[in-house]
A = this chain, B = another copy of it.
Amino acid sequence: MQRTEISTLGEFGLIRRLTEDLPEPGPATRKGVGDDCAVLSYPDRQVLVTSDMLMEGIHFDLVYTPMKYLGYKAAQVNFSDVYAMNGTPRQLLADVALGRHFSVEDMDELYAGIRLACERHGVDLVGGDTTSSLTGLALALTCIGEADAADVAYRSGARPTDLVCVSGNLGAAYMGLQLLEREKAVFNTRPAASAQPAQPDFAGREYLLERFLRPEARRDVVQALREAHIRPTAMIDVSDGLSSEMLHICHDSGVGCRIYEERIPLDYQTAVTAEEFNLNVTTCALNGGEDYELLFTVPLTDHERVLALPDVKVIGHITEAQQGRLLVCRDGQEFELKAQGWNPLKD
């Protein structure tokens, strides 16, 4: 691949290259890239804002993460936070800091991923900052979205008897990460003289890799809820693991919950791979993180309607706070939910 030093373009040249030919912005974007601020217009809507920071070596490993996937995922992670408010993402700002060993082509790839994610979710890339780093790559993305005031789903609205629902399946991204880490270890320990390039053993596990490397924020679920006239009482996206997110909802809503182990949705590949790694698959689903599924509560009266939704499962219900936050296992035993989610500051 061609390698162009970033210094040949300079900061403004690089920004121009990365943001040229952006698609026509949506009606809420009055001015996108190219001034001190982007200018947005939300006359009758609530404005949602979220920000996420991704650091090389902490949140991603470039050994097995193509730049394009990284950009795509970073954008999706932000969109997911807006969907988790029952909103629609509209604009994205991307701050990127990069070391000297990155080329213009690397940045092209990163932005190609960001722009593809934006295109798929109808989001305008409206600004950001591009600068240098003494070491690795740092990304900070901010997403702006919108929602009707009455539709915004906070973490604090869950009420006793509400049903607890989750989209898709859980633990798959975590198992994808385990596979990638194992192959990296194999690669690093192969004989130096080996003429054979290491051949990753991912056959049949592509789904797990995709879940980790290229998650898709669940716009479809938010749309399905809207079409079914279901207004979630509380909602959060699963970034740190089911336990951690469920505890956020319980804490902020002042309630308890009962989650049934047997109802937690799992993909077949997740179960098989967990067994291979000698991991408890329920633990992976509870604490794995990075699934970017939606966890939400709905009134009991929506039971029929929520059962009719594609790719959504009811996994438990909300209780009074004093009944605790419980996981009910297959054998009927009850355990208190604990947040052992991914905590980069502790690991």
A residues in contact (CB < 8 Å) with B: 6-7, 10-11, 14, 30-31, 34-44, 46-53, 55-59, 81-82, 84-85, 87, 91, 93, 95-97, 126-136, 138, 140, 142, 144-145, 147, 149, 152, 154-156, 235-237, 252, 343-346
Contacts and interface: CB of A to CB of B under 8 A. Distances in A.
Contacts of A344: 11, 131-132
Nearest to A54: B131
Contacts of A131: 53, 55, 58-59, 344-345
A140 B345 contact: no
Copies of this protein chain in the complex: 2
Given A51-B129, A344-B132, A36 B95 contact: no
Contacts of A57: 134
B134 A136 contact: yes
B51 A40 contact: no
5 nearest A-B pairs in the assembled complex, by CB-CB distance: A140-B140, A40-B47, A37-B48, A53-B95, A36-B84
Contact of A126 (B30, B49, B93): B49
Contact of A11 (B93, B144, B154, B343): B343
A63 B145 CA distance: 39
Nearest to A14: B345
Most chain B beta-carbon contacts within 10 A, residue among A43, A126, A131: A131
